């Protein structure tokens, strides 16, 4: 059994990554790459957050500094456990995620069953052109979902 690892650079931040030989086929999040390409664990966590509703709206509105709180990190660890993540919580550098927050991603945000928000909608929320959470009066559309007050 070989323990060889391929070294690559993260497609987003450029940090050196090792591609492990073994992956967990049951992993539903933060799955290790089978090919010599992809994101480092920190960029993969950020990518998961930006593609998962309502995390993406909350972080678009508040910014990434909330990720520095230990209780937020503990909740993410619980999500990783349920999602059978290949990555380990100790591999995540939350300060680096915050520091690299504004780096561009190689792919745009896509709507899915776990995310009704498009890249454009999140950009409009960030620019204040569209409502996010809070200050909702009457019926407003937030990322394709109709909200009703009261």
Q: Confidence class of residue 128 from pLDDT cuts 50, 70 and 90? A: confident
Largest CA distance in the chain: 62
Q: What percent of the chain has pLDDT over 90?
A: 55
Structure confidence by residue, pLDDT tens digits, 62-75? 999 999 999 999 99
Contact 12, 104 (CB under 8 A): yes
Q: Confidence class of residue 142 from pLDDT cuts 50, 70 and 90? A: low
Structure confidence by residue, pLDDT tens digits, 2-57? 445 678 899 999 999 877 767 788 888 888 877 788 899 999 999 999 999 999 99
3-state secondary structure of 141: strand
DSSP string, 72-97: HHHHHHHHHHHTT-SS-GGG--HHHH
Contact 50, 81 (CB under 8 A): no
Give 101's contacts (C-beta < 8 A, 6+ positions apart). 46, 63, 64
Task: Determine the Cα–Cα distance for residues 11 and 134; give it in Å rounded to an integer.
Answer: 35
22, two tokens: 């073994």
142, two tokens: 């937030």
Average pLDDT value over all residues in the chain? 85
Q: Confidence class of residue 147 from pLDDT cuts 50, 70 and 90? A: very low
Provide the whole-model pTM.
Answer: 0.82
Ramachandran category for residue 78: left, alpha or beta (phi over 0 → left; psi -120 to 50 → alpha): alpha
Q: Confidence class of residue 149 from pLDDT cuts 50, 70 and 90? A: very low
Ranges of each domain in the chain: 39-148
Q: What percent of the chain has pLDDT over 70?
A: 84
Q: Confidence class of residue 58 from pLDDT cuts 50, 70 and 90? A: very high
pLDDT at 117 over 50: yes
């Amino acid at each position: 059994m070989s323990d060889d690892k391929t070294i690559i650079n993260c497609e987003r931040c450029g940090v050196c990554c090792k591609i492990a030989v073994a992956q967990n086929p049951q992993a539903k999040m933060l799955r290790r790459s089978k090919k010599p390409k992809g994101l480092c664990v920190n960029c993969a966590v950020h990518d998961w957050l930006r593609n998962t509703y309502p995390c993406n709206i909350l972080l678009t509105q508040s910014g990434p500094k909330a990720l520095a709180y230990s209780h937020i990190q503990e909740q993410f660890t619980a999500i990783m456990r349920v999602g059978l993540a290949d990555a380990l919580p100790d591999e995540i550098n939350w300060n680096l995620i915050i520091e690299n927050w504004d780096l561009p991603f190689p792919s745009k945000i896509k709507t899915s069953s776990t995310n009704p928000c498009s890249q454009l909608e999140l950009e409009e929320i960030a620019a204040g052109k569209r409502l996010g959470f809070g200050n909702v009066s009457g019926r407003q559309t937030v990322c394709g979902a109709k909200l009703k007050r009261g």
